[in-house]
Structure 1
Amino acid sequence: MRIGLLGTGPWARAAYAPALFGHPGVEFAGVWGRRAEAATALAGEYAVPAYGDVDALLAEVDAVAVALPPSVQAELAVRAARAGRHLLLDKPLAVSVAQGRAVVAAAERAGVASVVFLTTRFQKEPEAWIEEQAATAGWFTARAQWLGSVFTSDSPFAGSPWRREKGALWDVGPHALSVLLPVLGDVRQVVSAAHGPADTVHLVLDHATGASSTLTLSLTAPPAAAGADVELRGEAGVALMPGSSEGAVPALCRAVDTLLTAARTGRPHACDAAFGLRVTEILATAQARLTADGEECLSGGPGRGKATVPRRRG
């Protein structure tokens, strides 16, 4: 499979380019970026072509890997799917439900495979733990903390405009949901949503299995407090998600493996674009709840009730 890379930012350079270059089952076929000079520089590091036009790249590949802001990703994913190209996408799939639905619809109409790269779901130890817990009945509640220090450290993502605008809910929220949903089931309601310090968000979710979960999400945690933790409690006792012994590149190589398998077999992976859309729907509901409750608090109005998460049709 010939895969082209769309994007030249820190994540493209640190994860996508080395994963595509080093994967034995694909050919890293070229780079397109919104800045031509950045695309030329990144392509030059791997001796692959740089493209100044997206359609020119699409004409030369079987699939695209997208490392771009989510609003840009959604638009280009639709374009690539319509050209019959398989999709390796990043989280979040989109920052609006309409954009996410457009990606899913385009992929389904074209019959192309899609995988959304959610790092934890493709890391060896956490992936095995998630599968084990999903097969265990009787979970009562879960606690997930995804605390980053992107805006309180020298992170290469500190200047990311979309992260500045959308915050932790949209950046690390998908990671937390990617762990909780396969174990506790779909989210039926956003029971509550509240702002914490800076971009920190606290959520309480009601799941289809009857379990509840609490999420604390932040990109502004002190560096010494940063980290990701998931704890499950239920009839089986207490289960803590293990850390990973590997970084993003091996995990991304596994995501490439799943794309190859989905393209070959026609069977969708659990982290396909439809799953990415479901995550977007939940995040959009939480965002609406945060906005509405914030406005009511400022006006001195009463708090709102539970927010039911709408399901897409079909």
Structure 2
Amino acid sequence: MRIGLLGTGPWAQMAHAPALSRHGELDFAGVWGRRPEAAKELADRFGTQVYDDADALFADVDAVAVALPPDVQAELAVRAARAGCHLLLDKPLAPTVGQGRAVVEAVAAAGVASVVFFTTRFQPETEAWIAEQAGVAGWFTGRAQWLGSVFRSDSPFAASPWRREKGALWDMGPHALSILLPVLGDAGRVTAAVRGPGDTVHLVLDHAGGASSTLALSLTAPPAAAGAAVELRGEAGVTLLPESSAGAVPALVRAADALLAAARTGRPHPCDASFALRVTEILADAEALLDEGSG
């Protein structure tokens, strides 16, 4: 499968380009970016072609991977799907429900495969844990904490405009929801959403399986307090999400495996654009509650 990369920022450099270049079943065919000089530099580093026009890249490849802000990703994903390209997207799918729905509709109309890279979901330990817990009945409650210190560190993502605008709800929220939803069921509604220090938010969700969950999300946690944890409690007892030693690049290689499988078989992956749209809808509901509370 010939695949192109859209984006040249830190995530493209740290994760996407290394993963695409080392994958044995992918031909890393080219790079397009909003900054031509950065696209050329990244393409040269990984021995691939630079494209000045995104549509020209779409015409030359079978699939595209996207490492761009959510609003830019949504627009380009629609164009790529209409050009017949399979999509390896990043979370969040889009900053609004309407833009996310446009991606899903374009994917369906074109008959292309889509996989959205929720990093933790593509780590082997997490994948196995989710599959095991989803088969257990009687979950009573879940708790997810995704606490980052991006805004209190020298992280390359600290100056990201979309993260500054949307905060942890949209950056960390997709990670937490990607773990809770397949185990506890879809979130029927967001029952509470309140703000904490900095961009910190706390959510309470009701799930289709009868359980409730709480989420604590932040990009402004003290570095010593940063980390992620998921705990489930129910009739079977208590279980914790296992830690994973796999980094972003191996996880993205597994996401590319998932895209190849979906493209070959026609069977959608659990983390496809439709699932990512549902995550977007939940985040939008939470954002509306937060706005009401601060009005």
TM, length-normalised to structure 2? 1.00
- Taking the TM superposition and a 5 Å limit, the aligned residue runs for 1:96-115 are 96-115=96-115
What is the match of residue 175 of structure 2? 175
1:5 aligns with 2:10: no
The C-alpha deviation readout for 1:52-86, integer Å capped at 9, x for no partner, is 10011111100000000000000000000000000
CA distance in 2, matches of 1:168, 1:269: 26
**Structure 1 residue 252, shift from structure 2 partner:** 0.3
CA distance in 1, matches of 2:171, 2:210: 26
The alignment partner of 1:233 has SS state of strand
What is the match of residue 258 of structure 1? 258
What is the match of residue 189 of structure 1? 189
The alignment partner of 1:95 has SS state of coil
The alignment partner of 2:294 has SS state of helix
What is the match of residue 44 of structure 2? 44
**Structure 1 residue 294, shift from structure 2 partner:** 1.2
What is the match of residue 160 of structure 2? 160
**Structure 1 residue 189, shift from structure 2 partner:** 1.2
The C-alpha deviation readout for 1:261-303, integer Å capped at 9, x for no partner, is 00000000000000000000000000000001111xxxxxxxx
CA distance in 2, matches of 1:124, 1:155: 26
CA distance in 2, matches of 1:134, 1:92: 23
The alignment partner of 1:59 has SS state of helix
> What letter matches 2:127 in structure 1?
E
The C-alpha deviation readout for 1:231-288, integer Å capped at 9, x for no partner, is 0000000000011111000000000000000000000000000000000000000000
- Taking the TM superposition and a 5 Å limit, the aligned residue runs for 1:1-314 are 1-295=1-295
> What letter matches 1:184 in structure 2?
L
The alignment partner of 2:89 has SS state of strand
The alignment partner of 1:30 has SS state of strand
The alignment partner of 2:75 has SS state of helix
CA distance in 1, matches of 2:164, 2:131: 33
Q: Please give the root-mean-square deviation of Cα atoms over the aligned residues, in Å.
A: 0.4
> What letter matches 1:216 in structure 2?
A
What is the match of residue 307 of structure 1? none
Point out where structure 2 has 5 or more consecutive residues left out of the alignment.
Answer: none
The C-alpha deviation readout for 1:213-234, integer Å capped at 9, x for no partner, is 0000000000110000000000
**Structure 1 residue 126, shift from structure 2 partner:** 1.1
TM, length-normalised to structure 1? 0.94
The alignment partner of 2:5 has SS state of strand
| Percent of residue pairs bearing the same amino acid type | 75
